[in-house]
Amino acid sequence: MTDIFKEIEEDLRAERLQNFWKRYSLAFALVALAIVLGSAGYVGWRDHQQGVRAAEGNKFSAALSLADKGDADAALAALSGVASTSSGGYAVLARLDAASLEAGSGKIDDALKSYDAIAADTKLETVFRDLATLSAGYLRVDRETPEALKSRLQGLTEPTNPWRYSALELLALADLKAGHTAEAKASFTKLADDATAPQNIRARAAELLAALGSS
């Protein structure tokens, strides 16, 4: 008797499966087709994106080559083109390099405007905006008081900021340029003794302390 019930149960299961397949086979086929087309579309999109990034990288490298050759105007035009037509990393790198090139060409006011525009662009990642603020700070060290510079760089000196030690070094340099020797020596001493600071910054701080001597 048990075998009969088992046989009936198997027949019913097979019948239900057949009915289910008849009812939903088209839907399954459409889903499978969508998966295949979706996978192909993703691969095509990924390849396209890789091609776009490669082209942007080539344009960026070409702009830097112009700068290396001393053709600042052409390099600035090329970097401007990369910044306006690219997206993501290459766009912001082009803007930062353009500002640096302006500064190197003696166009300090233009460079400050460029850096300030990057720093104020809330669409960018904070790390890039802070780098622009720091870069502008190096240009302002001869133009502003240490107090004004400290106000600008205050956020960069927080313990979690990746530019913390560069900002602290810049503020110490600002004190030194302003004739605040005692404050500068105290800051350089902290940097030289800070085991968590980058080695190059610690080394520069130690060299400046040695140069300052007991003054």
- Residue 79: closest CA among 100, 103, 106: 100
Within a domain: 134: no
Range of the domain at 15: 1-106
Q: Which two tokens stand for residue 104?
A: 């190197």
Number of domains in the chain: 1
Least confident residue range of 1-15, 53-67, 77-91? 1-15
CA-based torsion, 121, 122, 128, 133: positive or negative: positive
Q: What is the dihedral of CA 110, 113, 115, 119, to 10 degrees?
A: -170
162/49 Cα distance (integer angstroms):
30
Q: Convert the pLDDT of each residue in 70-93 to its tens digit.
A: 888 888 888 888 888 876 678 888
Q: Convert the pLDDT of each residue in 105-138 to its tens digit.
A: 899 999 999 999 999 999 989 999 999 999 999 9
Within a domain: 209: no
Within a domain: 22: yes
Within a domain: 190: no
CB neighbour list of residue 86: distance below 8 Å, 6 or more residues apart? 56, 59, 60, 94
DSSP type of residue 158: S
119/136 Cα distance (integer angstroms):
9
Within a domain: 211: no
Specify the pLDDT at position 59. 77
Within a domain: 162: no
Within a domain: 27: yes
- pTM beyond 0.85: the answer is no
Specify the pLDDT at position 48. 39
CA distances from 84 to 51, 77, 108, 149, 209 (A): 18, 11, 22, 31, 45
Q: Convert the pLDDT of each residue in 146-198 to its tens digit.
A: 999 999 999 999 999 999 999 999 999 999 999 999 999 999 999 999 999 99
Within a domain: 180: no
